[in-house]
């Protein structure tokens, strides 16, 4: 009888051990799945952020003509944000709070970039409109006052050069020449009106280009890379 009880006890302990092992393996499997899911989301967000950075710089350098890539980057980031902040990928406990704190900081940096990107798009659109309109005014002016038209075309060429190189010296030189032309004065009222219109748009484009440069500098200065590194380190310390 004692021997039979001993056998039953051994069988019970074996079954209990098997159940615990199975439970551990199942839990570990779920944990690894969640880990891989979080990592995939984090690296996908980082990848799209890199694409957004490149597209913003291309737009501000007038290399990228269409805004479609920026729109696509924004949509992808918003979609991935919904996934990374969903309850099924969150972490419990104190480490979870730390992870969420760093995640919120990183998301805030991305929000700042996206907001600046929208302002950049608006400025670039205004600058482009001015660049398309100025040559038309120059041609119209040339029809009335050839010499004045040539001077305006030279100013427009300098403006293009400034957009290409964004040198402060180019901007200062252009502003000086604009003011010099403003002081010339023309006897013909129509010519004077056209010149004033051209100079108005030149000044506006210079102002917009400076504002655009400031926006680009603010965009580049957003500490999103640091925020991502802090987030990743917080997650690594949790999963280690």
pTM of the shown model: 0.78
Distance CA 152, CA 142 (A): 9
pLDDT recorded at residue 138: 81
Give the pair of three-digit tokens for residue 159. Answer: 């403006």
pLDDT recorded at residue 14: 52
pLDDT recorded at residue 141: 80
pLDDT recorded at residue 151: 82
- Looking at residue 66, the DSSP 8-state letter turns out to be -
Contacts of 69 (CB under 8 A, 6+ apart): 51, 55
Q: pLDDT averaged over consecutive 10-residue blocks of the chain (240 residues)?
A: 55 50 40 78 93 94 89 94 80 74 94 97 90 83 78 81 66 80 78 85 87 93 95 76
* Torsion 148-151-157-162 (CA) sign: negative
pLDDT recorded at residue 210: 85
Please name which of 55, 82, 57, 83 lies closest in space to residue 69, comparing C-alpha atoms: 55
3-state secondary structure of 170: helix
pLDDT recorded at residue 24: 39
């Amino acid at each position: 009888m004692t021997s039979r009880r001993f056998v039953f006890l051994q069988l019970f302990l074996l079954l209990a051990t098997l159940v615990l092992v199975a439970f551990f393996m199942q839990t570990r499997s779920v944990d690894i799945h969640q880990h891989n899911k979080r990592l995939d989301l984090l690296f996908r967000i980082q990848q799209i952020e890199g694409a957004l950075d490149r597209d913003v710089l291309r737009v501000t350098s007038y290399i990228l003509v269409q805004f479609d890539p920026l729109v696509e980057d924004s949509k992808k980031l918003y979609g991935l944000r919904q996934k990374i902040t969903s309850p099924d990928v969150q972490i419990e406990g104190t480490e979870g709070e730390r992870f969420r704190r760093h995640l919120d900081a990183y998301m805030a940096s991305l929000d700042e970039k996206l907001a600046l990107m929208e302002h950049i798009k608006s400025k670039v659109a205004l600058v482009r409109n001015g660049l398309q309109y100025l040559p038309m005014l120059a041609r119209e002016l040339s029809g009335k006052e050839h010499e004045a038209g040539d001077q305006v075309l030279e100013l427009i060429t300098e403006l293009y050069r400034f957009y290409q190189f964004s040198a402060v010296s180019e901007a200062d030189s252009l502003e000086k020449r604009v003011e010099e032309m403003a002081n010339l004065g023309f006897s013909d009222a129509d010519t004077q009106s056209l010149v004033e219109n051209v100079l108005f748009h030149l000044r506006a484009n210079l102002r917009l280009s400076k504002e655009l440069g400031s926006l680009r500098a603010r965009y580049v200065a957003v500490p999103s890379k640091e925020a991502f590194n802090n987030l990743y380190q917080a997650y690594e310390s949790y999963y280690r």
